[in-house]
């Protein structure tokens, strides 16, 4: 899928044709140079001088699937009343880059001509006013356009905007319903489609079993060869690995046929299957598909979206579950894992394939799964919950560590981390906000990117950081609850 962003530069006729030629040439140069350092191409579209030029480019931006967002900048003063109709109708993500072509004020050269050409300092303020007046969700990034910090932030915003495009296109394939009686994995699928664009629908496990029966031995041979190229085999149960390959091929075929990017299943509904998909789900996640256990379609879709927002469109983001704590003073950590399904994009080393008995659910045979330790480093966990009438995205900063214990008898992949601001305060904040036990854990999607994504999707955003206190968070949630009730 081709993805790009459009660069629209504001000006007006007041300065004469010579100035407009310079503005256009500079805008082209900036788009070309920025395209070389940003994760997606930035295409120069127009130096806008009239209402019609702006509404025309907005109509095209709204219509073109490859356009994932619009970046505006006002090189000169660009009166904002001519932007009203276009910006009101814009339905793609919008970033206002407040920058300047020149880095320095040229001491000898500066005269009134220079001043008339280089007016971003007040042009961008006029442009900012109309964004605020329209209450239009937008990202404002200020800084010199050749500065690496600006590139990083523009690039991150682009990735968040790609997350919006992926969300609006999201289809989730559900095998079975949610785990019985569980609350947080439930939610309003109609609201999710209205708000986020997700099409969440169910397919019978029996249809999956039927699909599995059409998978050929040579197809399984090919996928097992992929497994053994990427992972070490630490089991002599080749049949279990082959069974997982059969499951993976069938799930992938069904998803691709329906254009689904994410799926969920539940150990309570495996009728006709010998094993819960473990290695199968893990390898599908490595390919960029989203997954949620126990029918958790929200975390499944979010996993696919965060993966797409990560490095090279398939980053280090994964379905995760808070499992158990280490509460020794000075060594307070969460241990995260799942029954089987942890994405190998989190692995510190080369994962190994193991088979073990799985007591939970209807597993006739021991399922094969990848076992590994997660990487150390700063990361975050994110949880999207349904508050009734609205969605809330909770993000918590965490610090992942090499697991402090070898845990030789733990038969699943594991990640160990310390939640911010510290484990117990972090847990208090998370629980107060209503965050789920299922999350998306990401090493390469930042909280700023998720804040941008939430703003673009019109979803409540709560961020638990090293500076969060339970008291301040309680106040914040109370105020946000009122605001979001008013907005509904
Ligand atoms: Mn779970």
Each residue's pLDDT tens digit, 138-148: 999 999 999 99
C-alpha of residue 300 to centroid of ligand 1, in Å: 11
What's the CA gap between 180 and 201, in Å, rounded?
Answer: 18
C-alpha of residue 182 to centroid of ligand 1, in Å: 10
- Predicted confidence at residue 296, as pLDDT, reads 98
Helix (H, G, I), strand (E, B) or coil at 251: helix
C-alpha of residue 439 to centroid of ligand 1, in Å: 9
For residue 348, which of 321, 372, 369, 371 has the smallest C-alpha distance? 372
C-alpha of residue 277 to centroid of ligand 1, in Å: 14
Give the Å distances, CA to CA, from 488 to 188, 198, 265, 458, 484: 15, 19, 32, 11, 6
Mean of the pLDDT values across residues 189-217?
97
C-alpha of residue 438 to centroid of ligand 1, in Å: 6
Mean pLDDT of the chain: 96
pLDDT above 90 covers what percent of the chain? Answer: 97
The strands making up 232-233's β-sheet, listed across from edge to edge, are: 232-233, 352-355, 368-371
Give the Å distances, CA to CA, from 375 to 323, 415, 419: 17, 7, 15
C-alpha of residue 133 to centroid of ligand 1, in Å: 44
C-alpha of residue 24 to centroid of ligand 1, in Å: 54
- pLDDT, one tens digit per residue, over 378-420 is 999 999 999 999 999 999 999 999 999 999 999 999 999 999 9
C-alpha of residue 292 to centroid of ligand 1, in Å: 8
H-helix segments, 382-458:
423-433, 447-457
- 453-486 as b/e, with b when 16 or more CB fall inside 10 Å? bbbbbebbbbbbeeebeeeebeeebeebeeebee
- pLDDT, one tens digit per residue, over 78-109 is 999 999 999 999 999 999 999 999 999 999 99
C-alpha of residue 271 to centroid of ligand 1, in Å: 19
C-alpha of residue 425 to centroid of ligand 1, in Å: 23
| Angle at 204 (CA atoms; ends 199, 207), nearest 5 degrees | 115
* Residue 487: pLDDT band with limits 50, 70, 90: confident
C-alpha of residue 251 to centroid of ligand 1, in Å: 20
**Cβ distance 30 to 7 under 8 Å?**
yes
Helix (H, G, I), strand (E, B) or coil at 470: helix
C-alpha of residue 320 to centroid of ligand 1, in Å: 8
Tell me the pTM: 0.97
Statement: residue 353 has pLDDT above 80 = yes
Residue-wise DSSP of 118-132:
--HHHHHHHHHHHHH
* Residue 365: pLDDT band with limits 50, 70, 90: confident
**Residue 18: Cβ within 10 Å count:** 10
Q: Is the dihedral of CA 213, 215, 221, 222 positive or negative?
A: negative
C-alpha of residue 10 to centroid of ligand 1, in Å: 50
Q: Which domains does the chain have, with CATH numbers?
A: 4-168 (3.40.50.10940), 171-487 (no CATH)
Mean of the pLDDT values across residues 125-133?
98
Statement: residue 364 has pLDDT above 80 = no
What's the CA gap between 86 and 90, in Å, rounded?
Answer: 6
- Predicted confidence at residue 369, as pLDDT, reads 97
C-alpha of residue 321 to centroid of ligand 1, in Å: 6
The H or E element spanning position 397 is: strand 391-401
C-alpha of residue 319 to centroid of ligand 1, in Å: 9
pLDDT above 70 covers what percent of the chain? Answer: 100
- Predicted confidence at residue 423, as pLDDT, reads 97
C-alpha of residue 414 to centroid of ligand 1, in Å: 14
- Predicted confidence at residue 434, as pLDDT, reads 98
Mean of the pLDDT values across residues 437-461?
98
Token readout for 397 is 């900063």
- Predicted confidence at residue 370, as pLDDT, reads 98
């Amino acid at each position: 899928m081709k993805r790009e962003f459009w660069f629209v530069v504001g000006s007006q006729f007041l300065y004469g044709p010579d100035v407009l030629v310079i503005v256009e040439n500079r805008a082209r140069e900036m788009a070309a140079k920025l395209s070389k350092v940003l994760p997606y191409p930035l295409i120069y579209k127009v130096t806008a001088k009239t209402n019609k030029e702006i509404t025309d480019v907005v109509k095209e931006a709204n219509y073109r699937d490859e356009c994932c967002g619009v970046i505006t900048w006002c090189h000169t003063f660009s009166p904002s009343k001519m932007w009203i109709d276009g910006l009101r109708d814009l339905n793609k993500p919008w970033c206002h880059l407040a920058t300047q072509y020149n880095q320095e004020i040229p001491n000898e050269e500066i005269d009134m001509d220079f001043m008339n050409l280089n007016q971003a300092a007040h042009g961008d303020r006029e442009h900012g006013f109309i964004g605020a007046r329209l209450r239009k969700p937008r990202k404002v990034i200020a800084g010199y356009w050749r500065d690496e910090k600006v590139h990083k932030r523009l690039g991150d915003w682009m990735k968040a905007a790609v997350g919006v495009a992926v969300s609006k296109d999201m289809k989730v394939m559900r095998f079975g319903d949610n785990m019985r009686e569980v609350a947080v994995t439930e939610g309003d699928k109609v609201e999710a489609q209205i708000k986020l664009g997700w099409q969440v629908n169910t397919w019978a496990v029996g249809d999956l079993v039927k699909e599995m029966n059409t998978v050929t031995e040579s197809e399984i041979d090919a996928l097992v060869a992929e497994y053994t190229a990427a992972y070490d085999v630490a089991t002599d149960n080749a049949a279990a690995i082959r069974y997982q390959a059969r499951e993976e091929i069938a799930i992938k075929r069904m998803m691709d046929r329906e254009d689904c990017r994410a799926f969920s299943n539940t150990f309570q509904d495996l009728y006709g299957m010998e094993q819960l998909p473990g290695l199968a789900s893990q390898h599908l996640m490595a390919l960029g598909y989203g997954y949620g256990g126990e029918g958790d379609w929200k975390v499944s879709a979010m996993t696919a979206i965060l993966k797409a927002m990560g490095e090279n469109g398939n980053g280090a983001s994964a379905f995760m579950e808070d499992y158990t704590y280490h509460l020794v003073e000075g060594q307070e950590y969460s241990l995260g894992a799942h029954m089987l399904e942890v994405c190998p994009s989190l692995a510190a080393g080369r994962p190994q394939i193991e088979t073990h008995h799985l007591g939970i659910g209807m597993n006739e045979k021991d399922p094969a799964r990848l076992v590994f330790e997660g990487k150390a480093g700063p990361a975050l966990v994110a949880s999207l919950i349904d508050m009734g009438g609205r969605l809330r995205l909770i993000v918590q900063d965490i610090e992942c560590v090499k697991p402090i214990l070898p845990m030789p008898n733990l038969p699943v992949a594991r990640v160990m981390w310390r939640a911010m601001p510290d484990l117990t305060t972090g847990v208090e904040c998370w629980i107060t906000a209503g965050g789920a036990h299922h999350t998306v854990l990401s090493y390469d999607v930042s909280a700023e990117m998720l804040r941008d994504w939430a703003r673009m999707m019109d979803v409540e955003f709560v961020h638990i950081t090293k500076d969060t206190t339970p008291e301040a968070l309680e106040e914040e949630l109370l105020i946000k609850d009122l605001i979001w009730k008013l907005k509904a």
